[in-house]
Amino acid sequence: MTEPSRDWLERLLEADAAAAAYPATPQFALATAEPGKRRPQTLRLAAAGVAIAVVAALAVVLALPESREAVADFLGLRVQGEQVEILPTPRAGTTPTPLPTPVPVESIASPITASEAAAAVGFTPEYVEGAGEPRLYRLPYLGVRVFIAIYPEFTLWETPDFLFAKGLPDGRILEEVTVRGQPAYWMETTERVVRILRPDGSEVVGTRRTVRAPTLVWRGAALTYRLESESLSLEQALAIAETLP
């Protein structure tokens, strides 16, 4: 779009644009459904080796700037409302994109009281008896129904209808367990990024965070739970999970 002559404003803008500096374009990891479809496809993965359920690739991971593209395997586990993606292993000689600095839950959530919790999150949250007095939070995003209770020994996330999604380094193990006879899994790996997805699969901007704590994820009668704890064992986490409906 060449103008016959450029006036002072155009020269000014072009000079400003030429001087602009941008952050390095990041690597993107995407969970994608079939093109043209509005809901993410949840795939069930067949057990292989240990106790991981794995089925098929669902996603595209975008290439790092210099060279390569990599396709991530997205694992649809048997826990409703949970999606796990296995991130590609960085090639030799490349530097993987660092994970975001871990932030406390409080930095992305808003405090609420027990009396206002149900109205604030849009469903009746469940509590763990005998685990101490929790600090209560909700995610302050329109239409996002996530309740968070931070107990002295663990953090419990509850949602009736949203997806948790996370990226794991390749080669990590998820241990498949059961809670009340229903599929669940225990993740005890290095840090990973956890995101909140809307029912249509789109990410709730601002909910991404790095998690280091071992995590138990399961689907209850009406809610999907994720229990994160730095101190509890799998057995202890399962014992807590069994108390929730």
Partner 1 sequence: MTPIANDDAAVTAVLAGDRDAFASLVEAHRERAYRATYLVLHDAAAAEDVMQEAFVRAYRSLDRFRLGDPFGAWLIRIAVNLALNEVRSRGRRLAWLPRIWAGQASRPGPESTVEAAERRSEVQEAIATLPANDRVALYLRYYLDLNEREMAVALAVAPGTVKSRLSRASQRLRSVIEARYPHLRHTFEERGPDR
- What does the binding site for partner 1 look like in residue numbers (CB under 8 A)? 1, 5-6, 8-23, 25-26, 28-33, 35-38, 57, 60-63, 65, 68-69, 71, 100, 142, 201-203, 205-206, 208
**CB of 216 vs partner 1, minimal distance in Å:** 26
**Nearer to partner 1 (CB atom), residue 16 or residue 129:** 16
Say if residues 177 and 185 touch (Cβ distance below 8 Å). yes
Residues whose CB falls within 8 Å of the CB of residue 45, separated by 6 or more in sequence, listed in order: 52, 53, 54, 55, 56, 75, 76, 77
**Nearer to partner 1 (CB atom), residue 99 or residue 216:** 99
In eight-state DSSP terms, residue 67 is S
Closest listed residue to residue 128, CA positions, set 19, 4, 238, 2:
238
CA distance 27 to 228: 27
**Nearer to partner 1 (CB atom), residue 21 or residue 92:** 21
**CB of 111 vs partner 1, minimal distance in Å:** 19
**Nearer to partner 1 (CB atom), residue 84 or residue 216:** 84
Place of tokens 């840090």: 191
Say if residues 176 and 52 touch (Cβ distance below 8 Å). yes
**CB of 162 vs partner 1, minimal distance in Å:** 15
**CB of 37 vs partner 1, minimal distance in Å:** 6
Grouping H, G, I as helix, E, B as strand and the rest as coil, residue 105 is: helix
**CB of 17 vs partner 1, minimal distance in Å:** 4
CA distance 28 to 64: 8
**Nearer to partner 1 (CB atom), residue 36 or residue 49:** 36
